[in-house]
Amino acid sequence: MARVCQLTGKVPVGGNKVSHSNIKTKRRFLPNLQTKRFFLAEEDKWVTLKVSTEAIRTINKRGLYNVVKELRARGEHI
């Protein structure tokens, strides 16, 4: 699977690793993705999402049902 957050759309970005002697080599900054199971009480089932830690905080704040409703409106299969 791709390293993409299902909720926020975060993807790896490129940059430089800089050594002590200031030599720059290419590297990738990966998003902090977690595969997490959430219990969707309204539908009485478990939902598995691949989300960033920022998205987990968003789910805690806005509620899982609202987030899942928005994802389905976008066309995500959940």
Domains contained in the chain, number: 1
Q: In a 3-state reduction of DSSP, which class is residue 44?
A: coil
Residue 25 forms part of a structural domain: yes
pLDDT value at residue 2 = 87
The position carrying tokens 């975060």 is 10
pLDDT by residue, tens only, the chain of 78 residues: 589 999 999 999 999 999 999 999 999 999 999 999 999 999 999 999 999 999 999 999 999 999 999 999 999 988
pTM, whole model, 2 decimals?
A: 0.86
Q: What CATH number does the domain containing 54 carry?
A: 2.30.170.40
Beta strands per DSSP E along 1-78: 13-18, 24-29, 33-40, 45-52
Residue 51 forms part of a structural domain: yes
User: How far is residue 50 from each of residues 19, 21, 29, 32, 73, measured CA to CA in Å?
Assistant: 33, 38, 17, 10, 18
| Residue 77: strand pairing partners | none
Residue 34 forms part of a structural domain: yes
Longest dimension (CA), the chain: 57
pLDDT value at residue 1 = 59
pLDDT value at residue 62 = 97
Range of the domain at 32: 13-74
